[in-house]
Amino acid sequence: MAYDLSQLSILVADDDSFILSLTRSLLNGFGISNVRTVTDSNIVLDELQTSTVDVLMVDWDMEPMNGIELTRHIRMHPDSPNRYLPVIIMTGHTEMSIVLKARDAGVTEFLAKPMTVRSMYQRIVSVIERPRPFVRSSDYFGPDRRRIDDPNFKGPERRGDPEDSIEI
């Protein structure tokens, strides 16, 4: 492994105790010893208020808030202690509509279950190596959803000057 991840603090939220145990073991294998696990999304909010967390890994299907609702809360709620917290969502639902919902909620990375050692490591390294700038609009706050800056793009710039936009 190329990184010393031993100083990271990771909070893992999943209602499945097996997934929590597996995730903790994988993270410990990367040298991360500060791993806290919770089974309830409300406990995540409590942990974020009282502890320093560098990365949140959260299951899509949680109670009482699912991973998308939880991410939106972290990003948009005025009392959120860290709106810039990297959020990695974990789910077995990998349909494009689910990926887009996660992206549009402000999720930083998407991790498909069943997870592999490599895929988990890649997502953690991604939030370290390639942090995306955050953007704000009336209904979104989170990492820039555009992952590629394509200098050859010839279409209208949606975030540009309204004078430059093309009407369809």
Q: How many CB atoms lie within 10 A of CB 6?
A: 10
Angle subtended at Cα 42 by Cα 36 and Cα 48, rounded to the nearest 5 degrees? 50
Name residue 77's amino acid: H
Q: What is the pTM of this model?
A: 0.85
Report the alpha-carbon distance of residue 168 to residue 156 in Å, rounded.
Answer: 11
Angle at 36 between CA 34 and CA 42, to 5 degrees: 145
Per-residue pLDDT of the chain (168 residues; tens, 9 = 90+): 578 999 999 999 999 999 999 999 999 999 999 999 999 999 999 999 999 999 999 999 998 999 999 999 999 999 999 999 999 999 999 999 999 999 999 999 999 999 999 999 999 999 999 888 999 988 899 998 776 666 666 666 555 544 433 343
Q: At what angle do helices 41-50 and 67-76 cross, to 10 degrees?
A: 30
Cβ contact 60:31 at 8 Å: no
DSSP-derived 3-state class of residue 55: strand
The β-bridge relationship of strands 9-13 and 109-112 is: unpaired
Q: Are 74 and 39 in contact (CB under 8 A)?
A: no
